[in-house]
Structure 1
Amino acid sequence: MRPHTFRAATMAEALEEIQETLGPDALILSVREVPGGPAWQIWRGRAVEVLAFPPESTNLPAETEKVVPTPDPHDVQRRGAGNLTQTMEPEQEPPLRAMQARLQAQGLDDELLARAIYTCRSVLGKESPMERSRVAQHLKLQLMAQLRGMKPGRIEKDRLIFLIGGHGVGKTTLAAKIAKYQMERFGKNVGWISTDTYRITSIAQARCMTEALGVPLEIVYAPEDLEAAIADFENMDLIIVDTNGCNPAVERELIELGAFLDPFPQGSRYLVCPATGKDTDLNHAAAAFRMFQPIGMILTKLDETLALGSAYNIAWRSELQLIYFSYSPGIMEGFEPADPEALVDALFGKRVLR
């Protein structure tokens, strides 16, 4: 089922067109303001662009399908979201108020939430009374549409993985979980390389985990030794490189990490972010590590917080594929391929990441 895009001069006109094309049960995912004409015709003012899904029961003729790209999630921040709270009616239906309060408590981005609430009220506002289940479903669909799920076959194809992130984000435990999952799920032979040699405890932890899993371990102290270590594992199906923790605010540490990564552009670089992190710190880390061109994000420590708004926000802002979820300190449990729906469900109180 593909989303459809509708443009009109007003929201009312857009909704009328959606009902005519997709039916009265169509699901609205997002609303944004767009230029009303070509860039050079500024006098034409603004228009409304709505992204909608047909209901599951609707079978549309092939010729009516409109294949369109998903809107840039950062348009939520760039295009007037700050004024939405002023245009919303002051008295909202109780179910909508309750959902808004819950997502605020979870720490969801204020402007993204304002946009979602505004869209929900525009679409469902004619219902009297507004149904709680419909409100929850509508908000969930909007939030899910903003996340990038993992591409099919992504983790099966991995041959060389680099785990990158700040200090204490759980990379070493994560490396063990990935090794165990890949061995059991795909029957792969796994080799483990650790460049995290600044702390003796990190080396001891890596040795303990690899012995428990029966996985060979190489300790690498300098970038020039990494190539030889990878060559030693040439017969392995998967090589996991647990890089040294890097403070994104310290240029020297970023340079040192780059020295390990640059010679191996073929490796899959995954940014590891803890769900316990603060919005500001996670945003700064994602911006700093962007220079290494990570292709995906792994969320850790999902069981250590009751508010997952920061985890959602960084996944949305970074625009990275979600690859894995980790939510237990043990290596034998609490790990699964990422599912954006599970993260969104957790925002609404469903215990799916425990």
Structure 2
Amino acid sequence: MISRTFRAETMILALEEVKKELGTDALVVSARQIPGGQPWQVWRKPLVEIVAVRLEPGEDASVVIQTGEKQKSVSTDKKTGMKDLNRKDIALPKKMNVPSALRAGRETEIPAAVRAETVLKKAAGEIEKESLPVAASQPLEDSVEIRGKKIKPKPANDGKLELIQKLGDDEKPQDLRIIQLKPDGKPVLPPLELPVLPWQPPQAEADGIEGAWPVLQKFYDQLVRQGVDINMVKRVCQISADTLGYQTAMDARRLGEHLRRQLEAYVRVQREPAQREHRVICLVGPSGAGKTSFAAKLAVRYQKEMKRSVAWVCADTVRTGGIAEARAFTEAIGIPMQIAYTPGECAAIVDALHGNDLIIVDTPACNPRSEGSLIETGALLTAIPERTTWMVIPATVKENDMLNAAGAYAVFNPRALVISKMDETNSFGTVYNLGLRSQLPFAYFSYGAHRLDDLVPAAASRLVQALFTERFD
């Protein structure tokens, strides 16, 4: 009699080895499931162990049966002093995609004198028969917990039950618990119990300054509505409250005058150039800012009121109608105009017009959010080293757009701000904040459509007055 022990991951693989080595006439004495891998490996997988024999000519099969029963009793005696994880308190899955011959538990005994070929065919038939309904349904999952700590679920649709052993030094096998989950794989959570609280309307934030007098509170609200920086509003109101007495602070005229003087102190303005001062002024700004209209108003002011010679360089050759608009303005004013298509031409024209008191360069619209547009404008300005750059911003744009444009045009080193369309808005806090945060002086305020009367030199008093009257006069 030849006896062999075979170990494999599944029963079918083990029977294949029996058939291959001992032949189809071999007898399976016993089969059981044993831990696989080394003892120190936590994630070791179980293996199937089969003891098979092949009878020599003349031997009786009853001897093999008695030998198998004797081996079974010996192996049972060895396990009496060991703790087995396959206890009754461990709830294993009720249904698995494995043959019924492997569902008996951790150790499955196969009757002796059963040929390996017969067991192999039966196991293969059961797998093929039972895989069809299981595949149609959703796979089951096992959730393993050790003292309440969940371990990653393992699917049970591959025909193998993997018993996860992840025990620490202070943990025992009794702490291992297997829970059968629903087919969807999501555990049922208990209903969330939240305390029922009475609904209360949200409390509005305190609007104003603490302890403000009625008249001072009125001016505070007015400046906040205009959009002036809140820190600046609180500062000037607090200074007025600390400086003026109660009776003076109740006088609206005197209190308003005190607030205006404080706000004007933070506004920078640029004086107009002297009588014989030569300047080359380049105007930059976004599309629709009113650069060409301001250039015409500035040319009229210098020629009519200041008796200065003015020349116009039109570099706005990209915009449709830009050249025609500039030619119409210059012909009406009576000043020369030259057209520059490239930075080199612009520099040559400026040198040729050096004899004029003022040279106005109207540049194309510059998109502050376009790198290519900024590069083109920068190349044009770099060709004119003796220039003075003014930034033209309309008063109707949002404060965030104003600040973004000022930050983008900072690479051109602008010297002053020109605010256009002052008559098209009733909110001037954004203009005030632009001068406060950019620290650039205001040069001119432009409003209206008239070329002469609607351009005034920048004055702090006019801008601050507009904050209280909500109109630019």
Structure 2 runs not aligned, ≥5 long:
1-204
2:396 matches 1:276: yes
Residue 188 of structure 1 and its aligned partner are, at CA, apart by 1.2
Hey, what does 1:262 align to over in structure 2?
Answer: 382
Counterpart in 1 of 2:238?
118
Match of 2:247 among 101, 124, 127: 127
Q: Which residue of the partner structure matches residue 138 of structure 1? A: 258
Residues 335 and 151 of structure 1: CA distance in aligned 2, closer, same or farther (over 3 Å): closer
CA gap 1:167/1:217 in 2 versus in 1, 3 angstroms: same
Once residues 356 and 249 of structure 2 are traced to their aligned partners in structure 1, the CA distance between those partners, rounded to angstroms, is: 60
- Preserved contact between residue 325 and residue 337 of structure 1 (Cα < 8 Å): yes
One-letter amino acid of the counterpart of residue 146, structure 1: Y
- Amino acid paired to 2:387: G
Q: Tell me the equivalent position of 1:338.
A: 458
- Offset of 1:129 from its aligned partner? 6.0
Q: Alpha carbons of 1:154 and 1:130: their partners in 2 closer, same or farther (altered >3 Å)?
A: farther
Go from structure 1 to structure 2 and tell me whether the alpha carbon gap of 1:89 and 1:280 turns closer, same or farther (over 3 Å shift): closer
Structure 1 pair 332–186 and aligned structure 2 pair: CA distance change class (3 A): closer
Work out the CA distance in 1 between the residues paired with 2:460 and 2:412.
24
User: Contact 2:428–2:470 at 8 Å: present in 1 too?
Assistant: no
Question: Highest CA radius of gyration, 1 or 2?
Answer: 2
Q: Which position in structure 2 is the counterpart of 1:183?
A: 303
| Structure 2 residue aligned with 1:318 | 438
C-alpha spacing 1:128/1:229, structure 2 compared with 1 (3 Å): closer
Contact 2:209 2:234 in 1 (8 A): no
Cα separation, 1, equivalents of 2:224 and 2:278: 37
Following superposition, the deviation at residue 152 of structure 1 comes to 6.4
Q: 1:93: which partner in 2?
A: 213
Deviation per residue, 1:150-184 (Å, 9 max, x gap): 24646863521101111111000000000000001
Aligned AA for 2:388? S
Show the counterpart of 2:346: 226
Structure 1 position 329, deviation (Å): 2.4
For 1:221 and 1:166, locate their aligned partners in 2 and report how far apart those are by CA, in whole Å.
19
Q: Partner of 1:63 in structure 2?
A: none
**CA RMSD, Structure 1 to Structure 2 (Å):** 2.1
Tell me what 1:349 maps to. Answer: 469
Amino acid paired to 1:173: S
- Give the aligned length: 268
Match of 2:316 in 1: 196
Does the CA contact (< 8 Å) of 2:224 and 2:230 recur in 1?
yes
State the 1:90 CA deviation: 2.8
The runs of 5 or more residues in structure 1 that have no matched partner are 1-84
User: Which structure would you say has the larger RCO, counting Cα contacts within 8 Å and 6 or more residues apart?
Assistant: 1
Q: Is the 8 A contact 1:195 1:241 kept in 2?
A: yes
TM-aligned CA distance change 1:275 to 1:155, over 3 Å: farther
Instruction: Report the equivalent of 1:285.
Output: 405
- The residue identity in structure 1 corresponding to 2:323 is I
What CA distance in whole angstroms lies between the structure 2 residues aligned with 1:171 and 1:350? 24
Match of 1:294 among 409, 414, 426: 414
Listed one character per residue, the Cα deviations across residues 268-297 of structure 1 (whole Å, up to 9, x for unaligned) are: 111111111211000011111111111111
Counterparts of 1:216 and 1:210 in 2: how far apart (Å)?
7
> Alignment partner of 1:148: what SS?
coil
Does the 8 Å CA contact 2:281/2:389 hold for their aligned counterparts?
A: yes
Shift of 1:340: 1.1
Q: How far did 1:214 drift?
A: 0.9
Indicate the residue corresponding to 2:427 in structure 1.
Answer: 307
Shift of 1:105: 1.7
State the TM-score, normalized to the length of structure 1.
Answer: 0.71
- Runs of 4+ aligned residues of structure 1 deviating over 6 Å after TM superposition are none
The answer on 1:172 being equivalent to 2:274 is no
Give the CA deviation at 1:245.
0.8
Residue type at the aligned position of 1:147:
V
In the other structure, the counterpart of 1:33 is: none
**Residues in 2 aligned to 1:95 and 1:219: alpha-carbon distance in whole angstroms:** 57
**What code does the residue aligned with 2:313 have?**
I
CA, structure 1 residues 217+129, in 2 after alignment: closer, same or farther (shift >3 Å)?
closer
